[in-house]
Structure 1
Amino acid sequence: MSHWFEYFPKNHMWSQGMMFGIEMAAWGAAAIGEIDQIGQKLRGHEGDNELWWTEWTAMAQRIEGFGDIEEAQGHRLTSGAYYLRAAIYYFCGERFIAPSERKWDTYRSCLRCFTKGVERRYPQIERVDVPYEDTTLPAWFLKADVKGPAPTVVMFDGLDNAKEMSVLFGGVEIARRGIHVLAIDGPGQGEALRLQGIPSRYDYEVPAGAAYDHITQRPEVDPERVAVMGFSMGGYYAPRAAAMDPRFAACVAWGGHFDYHESWQRRRKIMESGGTKLSAPGFQLPWVLGMPDIDACMKKLENYRLDGIAEKMRCPFFCIHGEDDNIVQLDFAERLYAAVGSADKTLKVLRAYDGGSEHCQEDNRQVGANIVADWLADHL
C-alpha cells in the first residue's frame, strides 16, 4: 500500500503529474488552490490526456493573464509570482501530450513565463548556453550570494523533468548554502529535447564534461569543487559522469539508477498489462532516446548500465532514495551504492515516517532538497 497522497487513486501516473505541480508551491511556483481547481475538472476523466492538457493550459493562460495585468500596473514582484506559476502549469500541461508542434508551443509558453518570472522573483538566476559538440545545451545558472570562487553543482534532469523545475526545487536550497548551481537540460531532456531535438546518450560524461568546461571558465566558480548531480534517470547519468570524469569533486544520485535497461524491462511489463504505475506515457522513452519504438529503445538501453562503471568512481558519493519508490525500486539504489568505488559513499533511504518516501521525494520535495543541499555543503 502506498503512503503517498494520490489525487487520482485509480491513476498513479496522473497523481504523480499532480504532485509535480503541487510540490513547486514551496518555491512560489504553484498554488495548491489553483491546482485543485484543475483537478476538480479532471476528476472522472482519468486517462484523458487531451483534457489534462486543456485544463492545465487554461489555468496557465488565466494566471499569465493576471500577471500581465499586474505588470501593466508596475507591480513586477506580483506579476513575477503569476508568471512563475503559469510557467509550471504550462509544463505540467504538456507532460502527457505526444511530441508535436502543440507540445513545443506549450513548452515555449513555459519558457516565456519562466524567464519573466525568475527575472522578477529570482534575479540571481541567469540564462546560459553551454557549448556542446556543434551546438549548445540550455541551462540556468543560479548564483549563490558568496564572494570569491565557490563550489558549484552541475544538475541534470531525468526522463520527464526540465531545468525550469529543478533549478527551483533542487537549486534554491543548494544556493542558500553558498554553492552555485548550473541546472542544465542535457541530451534527451527539457529544452534540449523539445526545441533542439537532441536525444539521450548513454555516455553522459560528454555533456557533463562540456558543462564542467563551461562553468569553470567563470571567475566565481572553484574548478576544484564542482559536483555533478541528477534526478531520477539522472541517477544513472550523474554516477556515469562522475565515474568517467575524475574532475568532478562529488556526485549525487537523487534517486539511484544502477541498471536503466532492467528498470525498463520491469516498466514494460506494467505498460503491457495496462498499469498506470509509470511516470510517463508510452511515447516518452522512444522520444527521449530518439528511437522508433520500444524494441529499439531496449536495444539502445543495453548501454545504460553502471555495472563495471560505478566501480571507477573515486569522489564522495551520495544517493537519496525513497523506500516506497515504485518507479525506480529501492534495490536499484542499493546495488548502485554497493558498486560505487568511492571510499566516502552514503545511501540515504527515506521512509514514510521521514517524509519523501516516494520517487525522488515527489511527495515531499522540501525534505529531499534540504538533505541533498546539506550533504553537498558538507562535502564541497
Structure 2
Amino acid sequence: MRAITAAIVLGLLGATPAAAQQPLPQIAPERTWPELKEAVQERVNRQGYPLTGFDAGEVRQILDRITSRDPEEWARSWSAAGETHFAAAEAAKAGDPAKARKEYLEAWKYFGFGAWPAQTSPGKKASHLRGLEAFRGYIKLADPPIEIIRVPFEGKEIVAYLQLPKDAIKPAPLVISVGGLDSYKEYVVDQYGPIYMKAGIAYLAIDMPGTSEAPLLIDVGAERMFSRLLDHLRTRADIDANRVVIQGVSFGGHWSARVAYTEASRLKGAVVWAGPTDGYFQRDWQAKALGTREYLFDLFAARAAVYGVKTLGEYLDYVPRMSLRTAGLLDKPTPAMLLVNGAKDSQVPIDDLYILMKSGSPKEAWVNPEGGHVGRNREWSDNRIFAEVIVSWISRTLR
C-alpha cells in the first residue's frame, strides 16, 4: 500500500528540483552480443514479437554476419537482407505484382529491424528510410488499396495509412490505430491490417508522437496531433466521423487513453492496450523497468528518443509530466473504453490499468494473469489478443 501511495504522490508532484538531484539509479546491464544473438534467434524461432513473420533461417544468416552490438554493424547486416528482397520486388513488379507485393513487405521488415528499436546511428537512420521506401512500394500494390493520408500540421504534416474493406458501406466507421514505441504505423498495417479487414473494419494507421514520421516529439499537449486528425476525418465523405474508435498498443495506448479524455465527445470508444498512464512515468518504475529482459535491447535509447533527450538524468526528470494523474484527467468522462494487458508486464505496470479502471467513467478490462507486456504469453499471442479480444470489442462498439 505504501508503494502505491508513493507512486500517487510522485504523480501529483511531477518532477521537482529535489527529484532531479537524486542520485541516478543503477540500471541492470544490457545483454551482451552473444546473449542478444541467442535471444533474437529464440524470438524468431517461436515467432515472438518483434520478429513475427521473419524467416528463422534468414535471420540466422543475418546474425552470423554480426560480431558485436555496434549499431552500424547491426544496420548493415539487416539492410543487406532488405536489399535482396527489394531487388526481387523491383524485378517482379511488372510481371508478377503478387510476388512484388510480398517482396516489398519482406524488404520493409528487414530494413525496419535494421533500424530497430530507434534510429540512433547513421546506418539505422538510413535503414529506416529505406524501409519506408520499400513499404511505399508495397502500398502501391496492396489489396484492398491503402491510401497515404497527409494532413498539414503546424508547418509539417501528419502521415497515416487508410485502408477500407473491399465492400465497405460508406461513410464507413473507422479505427484510428496508433503504433507503439518501436512498432510504427507500417507494423500496424502488416500485423493488424489483415485482422481489421477480415472483421470489415476500416482503419487509419498512425505513428505516435516521437516516432518515425510523427511531426512532433512527446510532451504535454502532443495529443493535439490526434485532434487535428479528427478534424481532417470530418472533411472526408467516405468516413463516418461520428463513429470513430481510437486504439493504441503499448506506448500508443497512452495516446488512446489521453485522447479519449481530451476528445471524449468525438469518439465512440478507446482501446488502451498496455498503455502507460501514471506509475510508468515515475522514477522508481523507470529504474526498474529499463533493465527488463522482456525487451530485447536498447530500451533506454528507444524511450529517450521519443522525448528528444540524451542522458538518463534528463529522461528521469522529463517523463513524470506525462502522467494522466498529473494532468488531472483520470476522473474526467470518457467514451466506452477497453483496457487490456498482462498482470506480469515488466515494461508497463499493471497498476496503470487498474488506476484507469477505478477512475472516471465505467470501463471494461481484459487481463491475462500469466501475461507479460500487452498480455502475451505462449497461449495468448499478440494477434490472438488483438483478434479475439480487441477487434471483437471494437466491432460491437462501432455498431
Q: Structure 2 CA distance, aligned partners of 1:297 and 1:232?
A: 19
Deviation at 1:54, TM superposition (A): 2.9
Distance of 1:169 and 1:85 partners within structure 2: 13
Q: Tell me which moved more, 281-290 or 85-94.
A: 281-290
Shift of 1:170: 2.5
Q: Which residue of 2 aligns with 1:244?
A: 262
1:190 CA displacement: 1.8
Match of 1:259 among 278, 293, 305: 278
Match of 1:60 in 2: 82
Who is 1:209 aligned against?
A: 227
Asked whether the 8 Å contact 1:13–1:280 carries over to 2, the reply is no
Matched, 1:136 2:157: yes
Deviation at 1:188, TM superposition (A): 0.5
Please state whether the residue corresponding to 2:161 is helix, strand or coil. Answer: strand
Aligned-residue RMSD, C-alpha: 2.9
1:61, 1:86 within 8 Å by CA — same for their partners in 2? yes
> How many pairs does the alignment contain?
354
Identical aligned residues as a percent: 24
**2:75·2:124 contact (CA, 8 Å) conserved in 1?**
no
Q: Secondary structure at the match of 2:246?
A: strand
Flag the 1:97–1:209 CA change in 2: closer, same or farther, 3 A.
closer
Contact 2:289 2:347 in 1 (8 A): no
Pair 122,313 (structure 1): closer, same or farther in 2 beyond 3 Å: farther
Partner SS state of residue 213, structure 2: helix
Matched, 1:161 2:183: yes
Following superposition, the deviation at residue 152 of structure 1 comes to 0.7
Alignment of 1:25-40 (within 5 A): 25=53, 30-39=54-63
Q: Deviation string for 1:323-362 (max 9, x for gaps)?
A: 33222232222222222x223x21111355xxxx332366
**Residue 304, structure 1, aligned to residue 316, structure 2:** no
For the pair 1:89 / 2:89, whether they are aligned, the reply is: no
What amino acid is aligned across from residue 130 of structure 1 in structure 2?
A: V
What is the identity, as a one-letter code, of the residue corresponding to 1:359?
H
Q: 1:190 aligns with which of 212, 217, 220?
A: 212
Distance 2:226 2:307 in 1: 18
Cα distance, 1:14 vs. partner? 4.8
Cα gap change, 1:310 to 1:34, in 2 (>3 Å): farther
Supply the distance in 1 between the matched residues of 2:250 and 2:283 (Cα, whole angstroms). Answer: 13
Normalising by the residue count of structure 2, what TM-score does the alignment of the two structures yield? 0.79
The one-letter code sitting in structure 1 at the alignment partner of 2:91 is I
Q: Which of residues 291, 312, 318 is equivalent to 1:294?
A: 312
Aligned pair in 2 of structure 1 residues 275, 183: CA closer, same or farther (>3 Å)?
A: closer
Candidates 349, 358, 363, aligned match of 1:329: 349
CA change 1:263–1:170 in 2 (3 A) is farther
Give the SS at the match of 1:191: coil
Partner of 1:148: 170
The equivalent residue for 1:223 is 241
Equivalent in the alignment of 2:385? 368
CA distance in 1, matches of 2:101, 2:272: 32
Q: For the Cα contact (< 8 Å) 2:118–2:302, is it kept in 1?
A: no
SS at match of 1:251: strand
Q: Identify the match of residue 367 of structure 2 among 336, 339, 349.
A: 349
Contact 1:317/1:346 (CA < 8 Å) preserved in 2? Answer: yes
- What is the rounded CA distance, in whole Å, between the counterparts of 1:304 and 1:366 in structure 2? 28
SS of corresponding position for 1:372: helix
After superposing the two structures, state which structure 1 stretch, 229-238 or 173-182, moved more.
Answer: 173-182
Larger mean Cα displacement after TM superposition, 276-285 or 178-187: 276-285
Aligned to 1:317: 337
TM-score, reference length from structure 1: 0.83
Residue in structure 1 matched with residue 17 of structure 2 by the alignment: none
Specify whether residues 174 and 263 from structure 1 end up closer, same or farther in structure 2 by C-alpha distance, changes over 3 A only. Answer: farther
Cα 1:361/1:128, change in 2 over 3 Å: farther
- 3-state SS, counterpart of residue 283 of structure 1: helix
**1:116: how far off?**
1.1
CA contact (8 A) 1:188 1:201 kept: no
Deviation, 1:252, is 0.6
- Cα distance 1:368–1:158, how it changes in 2: closer, same or farther (>3 A)? same
- Contact 2:75 2:127 (C-alpha < 8 Å) held by counterparts: no
Q: Distance in 2 between matches of 1:253 and 1:150?
A: 22
SS in 1 for 2:306: helix
Unmatched tracts of structure 1, length 5 or more: 1-7
Per-residue CA deviation, residues 129-160 of structure 1 (Å, 9 max, x unaligned), is 12222221111111123122121111222222
Equivalent residue for 1:200?
218
Instruction: Give the AA of the match of 1:314.
Output: T
Residues 253 and 275 (structure 1), Cα distance of their counterparts in 2 relative to 1, 3 Å cut? closer
1:40-51 matched pairs, under 5 angstroms: 47-51=69-73
List alignment gaps of at least 5 residues for structure 2: 1-32
Letter in 1 for 2:331: E
CA contact (8 A) 1:236 1:304 kept: no
Aligned residue for 1:320, secondary structure, equals: strand
**For the Cα contact (< 8 Å) 1:203–1:241, is it kept in 2?**
no
Match of 2:250 in 1: 232
C-alpha distance in structure 2 between counterparts of 1:244 and 1:236, whole Å: 12
Other-structure match for 2:6: none
| CA distance in structure 1 between the aligned counterparts of 2:282 and 2:338, rounded to whole angstroms | 20
Tell me the amino acid that sits aligned with residue 129 of structure 1. Answer: R
One-letter amino acid of the counterpart of residue 170, structure 1:
Y
Q: Which has the larger radius of gyration?
A: 2
Deviation at 1:189, TM superposition (A): 1.6
Question: Is structure 2 residue 355 aligned with structure 1 residue 338?
Answer: no
SS at match of 1:311: coil
